[in-house]
Amino acid sequence: MVSSLSFPLPLFFFFACILLGHSPLGSCSDCSIFQQTNPIHPGDQWRVSGTSITRHSHTATAISASKVVLFGGISTSVGRSKVSDDRGVHIYDAISGTIAEDVPTINFKGSPQARFGHSAWSWRGSAYVFGGFVQDYSGEMWRFDYEGFDNAANMNSTWRQVNETSSSAIVPKPVYGHTANPIHSSDDRQVLMVFGGTTAGGTAVSDLSLVQLADTGGLGACDPTLIGAGESCGDFVGKRKDTEATWTNPNVLVSGPSARSAHASASPSSSFCVYIFGGIDQLSGDVYGDLWKLCPSGVAASADGDAVAWTTTNFEWEQIVPSSTFQPTPRYGHIMGELASGRLLVHGGSGDWPKLFMEGEAEYDLFMGLWVGIEPSLGSSSKVRGHKSAIVNGTKLLYFGGEDENGEIHSEVWSTNFTAVACDDGFATVYCPANSRVVCEPCTRGAFANAGDYACTACESGKFAPSNESSTCELCGRGEYGDGSSGAWNPSHCVKCGAGKSSSALGAAEESACVTCPGGQFSKEGWYNCSTCEGGKFSEPESEECGVCVAGKFSGVGAAACGDCGAGKSACDGCQAGRYQVSPGMHSCDLCGYGKYSSSTSASSPSACLNCPVGRFTADPGSAAYSDCTSCQPGKYSLPTPGLGCRDCERGRYTSTISMAGGFECELCGRNTRSGSVGAKECEECGIGTYSHLGYATCVDCGTDKASSSAVEHYEGSLQGFFQDEVM
């Protein structure tokens, strides 16, 4: 992570401001007030992560998220020229921090000799080495399989030599101090570029080779003489076929760096390019501090590397002139790696006096196009050259061994998690010419940035950022779309979909996201979905509401139009029992009348309504079954004609029981009783001093010369001069 990134004041203040496109908040001079970059966390600094073999000019190759293969190198400082006689392989475990020395191997076709100054890389879980000095210059390539067999009982590792194919246009040149960088890797093939180094007579070269690897050979023939005691060839079945290499001279349109060795290189994951920094010409003693990149012409970074015709692809060298005047000290024997995307870290190495051995770091940022000096540094580490690095788990940079200014060869393993971003969410990482520093520029409302971004991005149509220092844009809601504005900061730029349309998408950029409701559906303005019309209603496409079917027409759920009803049907449904319809095109059914019932459905005639029998009636119209015909209840009597139902008893009469068929009239109230209302279920007795005759509705006074003490003591005769022979 970058902290307090310091540069000398550049001479191109104004032009850098324009080219870098910074500061929407104001002019470039304003950037001096921007927030400083995050400090380096102590956990990200260099620290010793165990011990390894005592070595320099060896190789360290990560073959998995935790395993690093160490091979070759110089282990003694006597004359600084004696090659280690160790030809074994050592595996460092980055999780436990331990090393397995001299891993046992079974080799069908021999193994590489001890060497130094060779190159190494990985592909498909295996480590590859090329070249180096083996008492002479080597042009061999080997593959090491840590898990090389399917059924090995004990030893499981093996070496296999990688031979050139018949399609190779050149023979590999014996060389050491060179670099080899894969620019494309897939399960089918790997493509790498080999550059520079020292060859016979100590002459530095600037040769560039294109190498394509593929597993096209056999599984390897087992030599019984190479198998240990108690083992047989049947115990060793190889997992991978032999790798073969096709060597060619790439088509280079623009010449590149001068001859050199002991330089450092890296191939960023975001491109097919190779970056080379530093190096030395041992014969002239020139130490270099220039930075170059090699890229294929016309090949997009997103291209399928397997589909590229690499042998006919043109390549171009470009010397990079940084945007700032700061550049790291020229050096050789250093390391260089991409630990964070687009950021190449350089560490250590040797330079001209007085910086013969260096400890500090520098970082080249591909996106800003400038070198960054890291102050304070990543903490103390060893001042060495010839150390070798590997990146494990994508986040941890390890370097192993190296030689210091006293000629002592080291065995420590140093590590750093140099992946943290310089600026947080809501800030852009920019270079400020005003104070020659990398600073954090706050995003204004209407724009956003994620941690590590190099610019604030304006919110697209359909999105808005209401506050400064935003890490994301808010989305227009469902049923809305953006008005086409870029950099919107309030929701007023979200327009509602019109009536009869809907959109379920969040953050819709344009009106085309609003979909027209089909016939049978509708929506109001700003709705996120279309609702379905219920039965008896309809709608045409793009409707705001559903219309009601007129009388004599019908519709089902989700109808785009209404249809005509047939005879005996309403809403195209048959009339229910107890109902009927004579005419077509009607929107309802008529009810069977009182005293009638119909168990038929879809009836088209009133004759479907049957009369209840004499002595029974229906309480409501539209009765659907015979069981709805009930007997006349107390207080009622039946009429003699079927279907006419029951009638209330007149005043002066009553019924106390259910009237069955034939009960055509009610009984008369007895003497000295009365029923003053219709529908009486019983008669009331007359009060004291009153009396009644048979069938009276009321009781009358006895007169001045007569009296009764109770309703039971009634007057037997008629009042003088009066008589009654009918119900009163």
For 428-459, write each residue's pLDDT tens digit.
998 888 777 788 999 999 999 998 899 999 99
Does 149 have pLDDT greater than 80?
A: no
**Could you report the per-residue pLDDT of 97-126, keeping only the tens digit for each?**
888 878 878 776 778 999 999 999 999 999
Q: In this structure, is residue 173 part of a structural domain?
A: yes
- Sheet with 243-248, strands from edge to edge, namely 163-164, 243-248, 208-215, 190-195, 179-185
Q: What's the pLDDT score for residue 487?
A: 95
In sequence order, which ranges of 221-366 are alpha helices (DSSP H)?
none
Nearest one of 309, 315, 307, 300 to 270, comparing CA atoms: 300
Distance (Å, whole) CA 477 – CA 491? 9
Q: What's the pLDDT score for residue 127?
A: 97
Q: By the 8 A CB rule, do 190 and 308 touch?
A: no
Does one domain contain both 356 and 496? no
Does one domain contain both 272 and 380? yes
Nearest one of 282, 322, 248 to 7, comparing CA atoms: 322
- Is the whole-model pTM more than 0.75? no
Query: What is the radius of gyration, based on Cα positions, of the chain?
Result: 51
Does one domain contain both 363 and 474? no
Q: By the 8 A CB rule, do 575 and 603 touch?
A: yes
Q: In this structure, is residue 298 part of a structural domain?
A: yes
Does one domain contain both 395 and 525? no
Q: What's the pLDDT score for residue 119?
A: 97
**Cα torsion angle, 150, 151, 156, 158, sign:** negative
Nearest one of 317, 319, 348, 353 to 334, comparing CA atoms: 348
Confidence of residue 23 (pLDDT cuts 50, 70, 90): very low
Nearest one of 471, 492, 489 to 480, comparing CA atoms: 492
Q: What's the pLDDT score for residue 46?
A: 80
**Could you report the per-residue pLDDT of 69-85, keeping only the tens digit for each?**
999 999 876 554 455 55
Residue 397, beta-bridge partner list: 391, 416
Residue 184, beta-bridge partner list: 191
Choose the final residue of a domain: 544, 572, 593.
544
Residues 6+ apart with CB under 8 A from 628: 597, 618, 619
Does one domain contain both 258 and 358? yes
Q: For residue 377, which phi and psi values (nearest 5 degrees)? A: -75, -175
**Could you report the per-residue pLDDT of 500-545, keeping only the tens digit for each?**
999 999 999 999 999 999 999 999 999 999 999 998 899 999 999 9
Q: What's the pLDDT score for residue 695?
A: 86
**Could you report the per-residue pLDDT of 478-495, keeping only the tens digit for each?**
999 999 999 999 999 999
Provide the number of structural domains found in the chain: 3
Q: In this structure, is residue 5 part of a structural domain?
A: no
The CATH number given to whatever domain includes residue 95 is 2.120.10.80
What are the angstrom distances between the C-alpha of 467 and each of 31, 134, 173, 352, 596?
20, 64, 61, 52, 76
Q: What's the pLDDT score for residue 483?
A: 95
**Could you report the per-residue pLDDT of 355-394, keeping only the tens digit for each?**
788 877 888 988 888 888 765 567 778 889 988 988 877 7
The more confidently predicted of residues 633 and 181 is 181
Q: For the chain, what percent of residues have pLDDT higher than 70?
A: 83
Q: In this structure, is residue 388 part of a structural domain?
A: yes
Mean pLDDT of the chain: 83
Average pLDDT over residues 271-277: 96
Q: By the 8 A CB rule, do 52 and 70 touch?
A: yes
**Could you report the per-residue pLDDT of 308-343, keeping only the tens digit for each?**
999 999 999 999 987 776 789 999 999 999 877 888
Does one domain contain both 338 and 232? yes
Least confident of 2-16, 188-202, 207-221, 345-359: 2-16
Q: What's the pLDDT score for residue 710?
A: 39
Decide the pairing of beta strands 251-254 and 314-319.
parallel
Choose the final residue of a domain: 498, 516, 544.
544
Q: In this structure, is residue 442 part of a structural domain?
A: no
Neighbours of 370 (CB within 10 A): 23
Does 708 have pLDDT greater than 50?
A: no
Does 19 have pLDDT greater than 90?
A: no
Confidence of residue 10 (pLDDT cuts 50, 70, 90): very low
Q: What's the pLDDT score for residue 570?
A: 55
Which structural domain, as residue segments, surrounds residue 514?
Answer: 459-544
Confidence of residue 645 (pLDDT cuts 50, 70, 90): confident
Q: In this structure, is residue 289 part of a structural domain?
A: yes
Does one domain contain both 256 and 380? yes
Does 295 have pLDDT greater than 60?
A: yes
Does one domain contain both 356 and 300? yes
DSSP 515: E
Does one domain contain both 226 and 140? yes
Does one domain contain both 394 and 464? no
Does one domain contain both 463 and 517? yes
What are the angstrom distances between the C-alpha of 361 and each of 101, 300, 345?
30, 31, 7
Does one domain contain both 372 and 236? yes
Q: In this structure, is residue 404 part of a structural domain?
A: yes
Q: In this structure, is residue 110 part of a structural domain?
A: yes
Choose the final residue of a domain: 363, 392, 416.
416
**Cα torsion angle, 502, 503, 508, 513, sign:** negative
